[in-house]
Structure 1
Amino acid sequence: MSKIKVGIIGCGSIATHRHIPEYVINENAEIIAVCDIVEDRAKERAEQYGTKFYKNYEELLADDEIEAVSVCTPNYLHAPISVAALNAGKHVLCEKPMATSEEEAKAMIEAAQRNGKKLMIAHNQRFVSSHVKARKLIESGDVGKIYSFRTAFGHGGPERWSADGSNSWFFEKDEAFIGAMGDLGVHKTDLLRYLLNEDIVEVAAFVDTVAKKETTVDDNAVCILKTESGIMGTLAASWSYVSSEDNSTIIYGENAILRLEDHPDYSLVVQYKNGEVVKYELGKIQSNEDGGQNNTHVIENFINSIVENSEVPINGEEGMKSLKVILAALESSKTGKVEKVHL
């Protein structure tokens, strides 16, 4: 079987540490072109992996050999590039958050449907082993009725991770549109929707800049979320956790408490009401601190869906539902009111 020919649009850190290495190890994929407006960056990746390079994405999309693309650009370009790629007949894997507005997200979904192509959003937390196991425990009824949750995602900021350091687009509102809440919070809104298998319908939030005063986007967000069945909990997203990363989630149920990525040695700890404690070693969650070396399984799932012509695990509709939660959080912070998430 011939390999799926792939183009990478944007050669920054997420492409360098996640997308490109995972395509390289995938036996059904072959990167044949890379693109970045910073020509030296595109050239460097092209030389490293033996591919063609382009300076603008329109040229890459005009390459008929390319069947699928990863969109690894600043947030404000996610929608326009994804729509252009879908219209050019390419399957699209787009980084999160998928867009900067509901209207943009809808345009992406419609373009995928119109052109009969796959659109997947790269919410990698759904594929983390502890998260997959926790969902199974919840679905099995082992945990009982879910009462509440607490989730957090924070680190010292994208200047430690981004290819442009402290000059990164992450800090510019016109390119990023949103800060920590969009960079990290959207991961957790998607994870909660996945774990609980429910949509979030109400949000009350404080979204502000408290640590990095030179930026034009938020660096801290704290939200209260409520699901359609009435489960309530909190979400924190931050670029000010200066000593180490926090990527933990705790689910409080009728029969047990699930502690995900909350222990240095065990990726999932289940504390049952009867006193029994079960500890699972399921491998470490992907972290910026490890240089992004762990396989996120995002590319694997994307390529498999193309090869098998099956539904992608996180389609545009799913991406839009998670995006709507962070949009509601922004609105709540602005209005000082509880905002409904219109599904």
Structure 2
Amino acid sequence: MIKVAVIGCGSIARHRHLPEYAANQDVEIAAVCDIVQERAEELGSIYDAMAYTDYQEMLEREEIEAVSVCLPNYLHAPVSIAALKSGKHVLCEKPMATSSEEAEEMIETAKNARKWLMIAHNQRFVPSHQKAQEMIANGDLGKIYSFRTAFGHGGPEGWSADGADSWFFKKDEAFIGAMGDLGVHKTDLLRFILGEDFSSVGAFIETSAKDHSTVDDTAVCVLRTQSGIIGTLAASWSYNAGEDNATVIFGEKATLRLEEDPENNLIIQYPNGDKAKFELGGIQTNEIGKQTSSGVIDSFISSLKADEEPVIPGEEGKKSLEVILAALEANETKRIVEIK
């Protein structure tokens, strides 16, 4: 059994990390930690785990092998680094850090500690996304011409443990809004599906829907890959009528429509008008009570059991983060920015 702890007992821990750890037969949830004592004690009681309000005390006292870092964005790097230095493997929520420098320090700390670091980009595990990646890698679409992707909903108020008072809306804790919450998922997804990195980005990023927010809530980016594929990415907390989590890939031989139809997760459209439709199992949703397994926890635990590098290591998380950082710069400078 792999003994794990979860640091941060907000919604992502309550609805995804902890239930998925509990469902994994190779895991024992040994401890939970949150600065809000009531949250820690409640979840500790549910999962028969020790409850802490100080993560450093927990790291020192508990004989655990791995931790999930489910904290506000500005704490991802320092807490992950502390856990790695204490000899724990780390699964960190996205975005992995608030700067390239922080991300690099996380990666180097993991290497020096000889521990695994994984970033929780769950969209790579969606069946339709994995099928699309496979088809593109096999050349089934021929040359890829363009893409468009979006991730939008009404905002974290209905998802976060603190509602409208959540850290998601506070720049000093979140660093970035919808782009960090949703946009980074899609930069990672596109890199995965297309099989290459982005080289440049232009962006419009605004705060237009949330009066109580000091971070962005709506963004549209234009992206170019290293091979010259161009497309758009939208991330927003202003989609009040319903969630949009769709991606379309336009290729020479076919167009792929992913998670656009509520029943058919993958639709293939051919130039002659033919279509093929597939029901592959739905994408993760932010609706409470409608959670399905993300695949992240099982993948993380499998890598630890095999002592193999996780499928989304820190280096991958850093590359996806750097697209978002470049988009911020593009918006501020009003120019196209080359990505590191």
TM-score by length of 2: 0.99
Q: Which moved more, 1:109-118 or 1:289-298?
A: 289-298
Match of 1:52 among 39, 50, 67: 50
Shift of 1:290: 5.0
User: 4+ residue runs of structure 1 moved beyond 4 angstroms?
Assistant: none
Residue segments in structure 2 that go unaligned for 5+ positions in a row: none
Superposition pairs of residues 307-326 of structure 1, within 5 angstroms: 307-326=305-324
Q: Does 1:254 align with 2:274?
A: no
Shift of 1:254: 0.3
Give the aligned residue type for 2:236. Answer: S
Superposition pairs of residues 167-182 of structure 1, within 5 angstroms: 167-182=165-180
* Partner-residue secondary structure (3-state), 2:137: helix
* Partner-residue secondary structure (3-state), 1:166: helix
Superposition pairs of residues 185-224 of structure 1, within 5 angstroms: 185-224=183-222
Q: Which residue of 1 aligns with 2:151?
A: 153
* Partner-residue secondary structure (3-state), 2:61: coil
* Partner-residue secondary structure (3-state), 2:21: helix
Q: Which moved more, 1:270-279 or 1:222-231?
A: 270-279
Match of 1:163 among 149, 152, 161: 161
RMSD value, Cα: 0.7
Q: Which residue of 2 aligns with 1:112?
A: 110
Distance across 2 between alignment mates of 1:256 and 1:62: 54
Question: Does the CA-based 8 Å contact 2:159-2:288 persist in structure 1?
Answer: no
Give the aligned residue type for 1:154. Answer: G
Structure 1 residues 324 and 292 mapped into 2: Cα distance closer, same or farther (>3 Å)? farther
Q: Which residue of 2 aligns with 1:38?
A: 36
Q: Which residue of 2 aligns with 1:134?
A: 132
Q: Does 1:125 align with 2:142?
A: no
Q: Which residue of 2 aligns with 1:83?
A: 81
Q: Which moved more, 1:160-169 or 1:288-297?
A: 288-297
Give the aligned residue type for 2:321. Answer: L
Distance across 1 between alignment mates of 2:200 and 2:47: 46
* Partner-residue secondary structure (3-state), 2:142: coil
Distance across 1 between alignment mates of 2:36 and 2:179: 27
Distance across 1 between alignment mates of 2:290 and 2:337: 35
Shift of 1:291: 3.1
Shift of 1:310: 1.0
Distance across 1 between alignment mates of 2:287 and 2:64: 33
Shift of 1:133: 0.5
Distance across 2 between alignment mates of 1:292 and 1:105: 32
* Partner-residue secondary structure (3-state), 1:34: strand
Distance across 1 between alignment mates of 2:91 and 2:63: 17
Shift of 1:132: 0.3
Shift of 1:292: 5.0
Distance across 2 between alignment mates of 1:291 and 1:101: 34
Give the aligned residue type for 2:97. Answer: A
Distance across 2 between alignment mates of 1:314 and 1:236: 23
Distance across 2 between alignment mates of 1:136 and 1:302: 21
Match of 1:333 among 307, 331, 334: 331
Distance across 1 between alignment mates of 2:146 and 2:11: 35
Question: Does the CA-based 8 Å contact 1:18-1:292 persist in structure 2?
Answer: no
Q: Which residue of 2 aligns with 1:19?
A: 17
TM-score by length of 1: 0.98
Distance across 1 between alignment mates of 2:291 and 2:228: 38
Equivalent pairs, count: 340
Residue segments in structure 1 that go unaligned for 5+ positions in a row: none
Structure 1 residues 289 and 64 mapped into 2: Cα distance closer, same or farther (>3 Å)? closer
Shift of 1:63: 2.6
Q: Which moved more, 1:17-26 or 1:289-298?
A: 289-298
Q: Which residue of 1 aligns with 2:302?
A: 304
Deviation by residue 1:257-285 (Cα, 9 ceiling, x = unmatched): 00000012100000011222110000111
Sequence identity, in percent? 64
